[in-house]
């Protein structure tokens, strides 16, 4: 317990995967619920957004709609990839720190 309190033992290598999955799943789901909550909280803004969405979908051809959906899907996947790379970097940083601060081998 003393190592934990004096930061001689890092909890990050064990906590990072948990936070990765919480973020990879929680951020999109949380944004979805926030969007629903904001739509209920501000009905005028929701009506304006729905009217804009309808007018855009009427102007776009089916092929263009597919490109828009493909763009959103690509953006979502790239954000998830960035989230993954961020946590891989943090884990690698901790491994480098551990390797550099490890006591030298006995001869």
DSSP sequence for 16-75: HHHHHHHHHHHHHHHHHHHHHHHHHH-HHHHHHHHHHHHHHHHHS-HHHHHHHHHHHHHH
Question: What's the confidence (pLDDT) of residue 6?
Answer: 75
The stretch 55-70 carries a mean pLDDT of: 94
Q: State pLDDT tens for residues 49-62.
A: 999 999 999 999 99
* pTM listed for this prediction: 0.74
Q: How confident is the model at residue 73 (pLDDT cuts 50, 70, 90)?
A: very high
Dihedral sign, Cα of residue 92, residue 95, residue 100, residue 105: negative
Q: State pLDDT tens for residues 92-101.
A: 888 888 888 8
Question: What's the confidence (pLDDT) of residue 65?
Answer: 94
């Amino acid at each position: 317990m003393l190592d934990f309190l004096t930061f001689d033992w890092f909890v990050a290598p064990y906590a990072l995967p948990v936070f990765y999955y919480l973020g990879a799943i929680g951020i999109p789901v949380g944004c979805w619920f926030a969007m629903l909550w904001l739509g209920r909280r501000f009905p005028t803004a929701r009506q304006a957004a729905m009217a804009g969405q309808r007018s855009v979908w009427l102007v776009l051809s089916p092929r263009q709609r597919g490109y828009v959906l493909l763009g959103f899907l690509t953006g979502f996947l790239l954000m998830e990839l960035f989230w993954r790379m961020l946590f891989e970097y943090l884990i690698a940083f901790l491994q480098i720190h551990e390797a550099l601060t490890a006591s030298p081998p006995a001869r």
